[in-house]
Structure 1
């Protein structure tokens, strides 16, 4: 999850978003609410990042809540281990699901401060079946722009969730699934869970 987590968290707290309508040739028309969802999430995350009154723990807790409420973590996490889903026990899956969110934050919380002055613009919305691709461009002074596509999907309750992320034409779920698969084949599934938990523990001790 390192590549997915790094870019997911790096692009969450970016402040300026301007939506550009899809062209007339695109059908069906994408729901503008998908772009608004990314806009609102970025605005809220950016506000946390800029709030110097928050302690590190308070900021991390708020980002964790944002992840849990706005990212399909369980769905993404299960896709990363889908080749092994039939061979693991419910207890192993439960331990993996519990370790994943903290691992994402623990591994990349220090990178957030690098994006205080960054901006993200929504360039285009494309509907693809049940999904909407929110195409964005991330810009930061002194760095090359990064093109990212947020794949979002509406829940039965009518809320959008982030389902995947493609950055510079690299599908991060597919890439990270291969990394997780290689790790599991070499070390076993329990070792993967231990690695996630150990990373969480080391990060907590460092704070």
Structure 2
């Protein structure tokens, strides 16, 4: 694809609209409405979200992780505490999530602080995972350099044999986080790039202020 073709690559959105009146007063309920609609629309991995973190001196990084729970307290995911994102969260707990459901021409952006979930919550989720996923959490030194793919595969085979007839215990370096939101923005694609943007800002522990932003 040449530069001109790339510059002309665009999609005009016209599937729906979003108004202050039609959006729920509570952003978590609004998210629940949209998430359920994404599931009903057979969106590809509707719980896939971009998690953005940053170092203490402001160098950002982003990756796709899977949403595993949401409630009035926040949005939860699980990972290796020693991974790059885990190390960044430990030093700078500010983070952001981004969902994009192209089938519905929608995006949700969430900003807030990230905290570890309790060991009980992490153990419960770990024990619900397929055994192969449990073993991979033990095997993989996430974000660290390794010699080869073969080295990783060998560890996997060794651990599969070791845990063939016994339960896999959650490693201490693996568990859950919850992002507690302070800002949640809902974006609905509209024609001619005049998109709808409704943002909720947390005023206190129970109150949200809802406003419209220019696209």
Rg (Cα) greater in structure: 2
Q: TM-score, normalised by structure 2?
A: 0.30
Higher percent of residues as strand: 2
Q: Hey, which of these two has a bigger chunk of helix by percent?
A: 1
